[in-house]
Amino acid sequence: MAAARASGPVLRPLFSALLFLSCYVFHTVALTKDEHTEELLIVPFRSGQVYSHFEFTTLWDLDFAGSEGPRYKLQHFRLFPRALGQVMAEYRVQEMHLTLTQGMWQQDKWSYPLTSAAPGAELWVWFQREVDDVDQAWFGLTNALSGLFCASLNFIDSTSTVTPDLSFRPQGLAQGLFKTKPSHLRYATLPRENVCTENLTPWKKLLPCSTRTGLAALFHAGQLYNTQYSSLGVHLRPVCQNDSCTDASLELRQVLSTVADPPAVLNGKQDWSMKRYFSRSLSGPCPMAGTSRVYVDVTGNQTSSFTLKPEPTELKVTSYQDYSRKLAVYDLWTFPFHKEHGLNVDMKWKREVAYNQLTPPLLYVHRFVTGYGQEHGGIMSLLYNRHPYLEQQVIYMELVPWFTRMYLHTLKVETTEGNLIQPLMTRYKPGRDRQAPYLLEMVLTLPPDSTTRVSFSFERAFLKWTEYPPDANHGFYISSAVLTTILRQADNFTVPPHMGSGLESGLFHSSSTEFPLCLHTETLLISLPTPDFSMPYNVICLTCTVIAIAFGSLHNLTTRRFQYTDLTKAGSGGLRARLARLFGREKQTTSEEQGEESETSDENTQEKLLNTNSVSEEEIDNKDR
């Protein structure tokens, strides 16, 4: 009892310190409020494919106070991933957009995606204005992201990095405290990058619930990458906390988009379900998510051509100008889950394949390589404006690698009818061999209901033999061209672009009359003059063989000691004598064997005669008796 009483005063200071620390941590967490939402949008296309878009949004209310610029005080991580937050704070990143894409989005068949991405890897970053050495921060960031997402971003160097003047404007706050310098933008692509499960694994670990529960439980790598199109994205930007924008928050959006083709997998059937699509069903929402919903676009069910099971939580109709859309909403927080089967959204069509006539969007673009041979070539892009009476102003950006030397004097912009179009503004940065790529930006006005051709020529450069990739004959990739514009109609948008956070703000709370749009063209594959890498191998093999034969004979002649020997005295003789002795021994051996056989036969004959004589004598004696 005395010991217990004595220990009381000793524990009181410790208890007080722990109480103070817990109050401090609670106060800090209360000041840095964060929230997480998870949403899934499923859209059946008219062409038969099914588009799925996962979006996980984390908002973190931070104190951005700073005399020189916003400084992220990233401490006491709760929902925001610590690994990514520390990288952003280390390199003073204000806004970042990273996409890892496999496949090509078909603009003329699938309309516009929620998030446009170039095939391969694409990264563009706005650094804070107090960063002195932007290039050093840029290369440090690419190496850090390379290790974080298991991608080849560390191969980004000066030969693939540019600073656009007209494209890739900030999508977050860019005024007041967040105003940055135009020179603090960096953009780079890796069109050869292969996207696989190695990138998905670290990406999904950044989620608060990982893949244990919630919408992320649907992630099955084999199903996600067995599709026509798949894209991972990480988007970070500062946004307003309230309508007056007196305070700012840090928004992190993790997006995953896929396009599957059920008729090709299910023998012509257009039916789909979560178990068929993702190989599993939903068991419940993520406990850390304030909003967890699944949206299914049922706009095309005006004639009851398909059935949707189970019944959704509610049906909502959204309108954008003259265009309306009907969505089935499944709220995972209120939906009555089945204990064994969970939530398995199932859409069944009354016909096997119900293809509808495809209507191209108002604006889309295609690009391809022109010319022949391995010395000169060209690139041509076709810009389609399908609006019947309105012109469309666009920003066209072309990034050409240094080994395709672009000729600016061959640049031509004209319609298919032969009418020349004069660019309103042109920004051109020439490339340098092994140092910087070519960058071309133009502001164009596309006539109504027209097709505009943008073309130029280039010369293929000769590379050093050490600069070729392992599969040199496969060719070299040219990254996608980028088309940026603002549309006045939202007919072809899957979800209209919005400045809010989450899909809900774009689906049900968007009242904008202007819709920004960014489109990526196809990546191009060209062949350069390639040396015959098998020739050195053949030469080495032939040379080594000849040298081995010649060296063996010369070495034998120069190292052997020759001595005169009398063959008659030595008794060994030459080759003829040796053969004679050999055959002589064989003959002698044969004669000896024959002699032994004859002796043996004679002995046997004598024994038989003796036996015969003895038998005859016995017979004579018997007769006499």
Is residue 609's pLDDT more than 80? Answer: no
Strands 248-260 and 346-349: unpaired
Count CB atoms within 10 A of the CB of residue 561: 4
Q: Which residues contact 208 (CB under 8 A, 6 or more apart)?
A: 36, 58, 79, 286, 288, 289
**Own/partner long-range contacts of 470-475 (Cβ < 8 Å, ≥24 apart):** 472/530, 472/533, 473/527, 473/530, 474/525, 475/525, 475/526, 475/527, 475/528
pLDDT per position as a tens digit, 138-181: 999 999 999 999 999 999 999 999 999 999 999 888 877 788 88
pLDDT per position as a tens digit, 526-580: 999 888 888 888 888 988 998 888 888 888 888 888 777 765 655 555 666 677 7
Helix (H) / strand (E) element for 555: namely helix 534-559
C-alpha angle 507/510/512, rounded to 5°?
A: 140
Report pLDDT for 440.
Answer: 96
Please name the residue that has the structure tokens 């007080």: 16
Count CB atoms within 10 A of the CB of residue 193: 19
Averaged over 271-280, what is the pLDDT?
86
pTM: 0.80
Domains, the chain, in order of start with CATH, read 33-359+493-520 (no CATH), 363-481 (2.60.40)
pLDDT band, very low/low/confident/very high, at 200 (cuts 50, 70, 90): very high
Closest CA relative to residue 490, chosen from 112, 162, 18: 112
Averaged over 31-41, what is the pLDDT?
83
Query: 84-123: b or e for each residue (b if 16 or more CB lie within 10 Å)?
Result: bbebbeebbbbbbbbbbbbbebbbebbbbbbbbbbbbbbb
User: CA distances (Å), 430 to each of 380, 398, 435, in order?
Assistant: 19, 12, 11
Closest CA relative to residue 517, chosen from 350, 357, 325, 385: 385
Averaged over 43-64, what is the pLDDT?
86
Reduced to 3 DSSP states, what percent helix, strand and coil does the chain have, rounded to the nearest 5?
30, 30, 40
Gap between the Cα atoms of 591 and 588, Å rounded: 5
DSSP structural state of residue 171? S
Strands (E), 461-551: 476-478, 482-487, 515-520, 524-526
Q: Which of 96-110, 398-412, 443-457, 542-556 has the lowest mean pLDDT?
A: 542-556
pLDDT band, very low/low/confident/very high, at 595 (cuts 50, 70, 90): low
Report pLDDT for 533.
Answer: 81
